[in-house]
Amino acid sequence: MIASAKVAGAVANRIHQPSVFGEILIGLLLGPTLLNVLGWPVFAPGGDREAAPLLPLIRDLAQIGVLLLMFVAGLETDLVQMRRVGKVAFWSAFGGVALPMIGGAATAVAFGLPLYWQGIFIGAILTATSVSISAQTLMEIGALKSPEGSTILGAAVIDDVMGIIVLSLVVALANASSAGMNWLALGIVALRVTIFFVAGIAAARFLTPMLRWASQLGVSQAVLAAALVVLFVYSWAAEYIGSVAAITGAYLAGVLVAQTEFKREVDAGIHPLTYSMFVPLFFISIGLQANGRELGPRAMFTIVLVLVAVVAKAIGCGVCARLFGFSTKASVRVGIGMISRGEVGLIVAGYGLANGLIGTDVFSASVVMVLATTMVTPPLMRLVFPPHEFTVTPVEETIVGPPEEGEPYPTTR
């Protein structure tokens, strides 16, 4: 599985697609959609040994990958930059969360799915934006430092934070409704969420002393091990104390560790651990759990979901950018740059499947939506970002020798 994920990611890069696209796609091909390799007899124990199916094991490892991925996302969240990007990025992100949320819920209801909580959760899946895919495309077309590029990057980060907040609220309310929706249950959930965030942020004062103590133990990777302990404690506390998703705790842990003096050391150690095994297994497990054969009755739902995901994100972000000072052309660029879903959308969809908030048919449709938006974003961005606007035209230079005696040295050329 690891080899397949890495090779597929390399092939995707060769055709100018992000590696995550190839990793999810190869999972679909190896899963029940086409080959169903985990069901082959060669992977079943022989003789009298008890069968040990591989998919549950891959799911468990993938869940660790999810937590590590969200921890890395927290480490890479620049709070200072988020404050600097200004109101255009903030409101673009807000529009890119609100309109897809409403559009996703409306699409679910239109196709006969219940609004609570399946429809709302489908809306939550559509709120995400993949900052990595947008950033890669912006770098390729030379527009990373343009006003539109800076706004897209800032809004994508804010968008992910808003998406995590939306997910936390949806999960908390869904948990409350499962115990009987009433004001007392909602009040208890609100109290638990507040306690988790207040206690989690307050505990950040102990992170630096703990990591400093770990650095003095004289054993290999002690600081990284301590950071992993923080990650898993916060993830556990998010679910069992805060009644929110574990990935919320993982993200908060990453943000808080990033504020310590050990951020660079943790960052250097966590990437090899995360991206060598656990994250490839997570992305490939998305395809292994999805079953494209179930999309027959949901084919029209899938098509509409993809269209809503593209149009709602582009309009929500673009209109808000236009309202807060950007030109029409620049607003269109911001809207197009925010279309792609990615890791966060897959994480939210996977959480919904694991916790029974959505079925495998809706999950499979969500995976197709993520793949489709990932695939269409780079060419659309190249279309609305003309390369000549963001490249420097070479100027002929005349090489000038040293001046004659008594003449001034040339200052221009």
> Cis peptide before 117, with omega less than 30 degrees from 0?
yes
Residue 13's pLDDT is 84
| Contact assessment for residue 328 and residue 336, using Cβ atoms and an 8 Å cutoff | no
Residue 331's pLDDT is 93
Average pLDDT, integer, range 314-336 = 93
Average pLDDT, integer, range 264-269 = 94
Quickly tell me which residue has 């593209």 as its tokens. 310
Residue 219's pLDDT is 95
Residue 390's pLDDT is 57
Residue 397's pLDDT is 44
Alpha-carbon distance of 306 to 367, in angstroms, equals 10
From the CB of residue 339, how many other CB atoms can be counted at a distance below 10 Å? Answer: 25
Alpha-carbon distance of 302 to 141, in angstroms, equals 31
Q: Which two tokens stand for residue 244?
A: 């929110």
| Average pLDDT of the residues of the chain | 84
Q: Name the residue ranges covered by the structural domains of the chain.
A: 2-39+54-166+266-389
CATH node for 2-39+54-166+266-389: 1.20.1530.20
- Tell me how far CA of residue 324 lies from CA of 66, 91, 134, 196, 318, in angstroms: 35, 8, 21, 35, 10
Residue 262's pLDDT is 96
Output 26 or 128, whichever has higher pLDDT: 26
Alpha-carbon distance of 411 to 413, in angstroms, equals 7
Q: For residue 298, which phi and psi values (nearest 5 degrees)?
A: -105, 20
Alpha-carbon distance of 290 to 27, in angstroms, equals 9
Average pLDDT, integer, range 173-190 = 69
Alpha-carbon distance of 175 to 181, in angstroms, equals 9
3-state helix, strand, coil in the chain (%, to 5): 75, 0, 25
Query: Among the residues of 15-85, which ranges form H helices?
Result: 19-30, 54-75, 79-84
Residue 84's pLDDT is 66
> pTM (2 decimals)?
0.76
Q: pLDDT by residue (tens digit) across 290-301?
A: 888 878 888 999
Residue 326 has pLDDT above 50, yes or no: yes
Residue 90 has pLDDT above 80, yes or no: yes
Average pLDDT, integer, range 238-246 = 84
Alpha-carbon distance of 346 to 348, in angstroms, equals 5
- Tell me how far CA of residue 368 lies from CA of 41, 97, 345, 373, in angstroms: 29, 20, 11, 9
Alpha-carbon distance of 126 to 124, in angstroms, equals 5
Alpha-carbon distance of 359 to 203, in angstroms, equals 37
Residue 363 has pLDDT above 80, yes or no: yes
Of 110-114, 213-217, 331-335, 392-396, the range with the lowest mean pLDDT is: 392-396
Of 156-170, 263-277, 314-328, 335-349, the range with the lowest mean pLDDT is: 156-170
Percent over 70 (pLDDT), the chain:
86
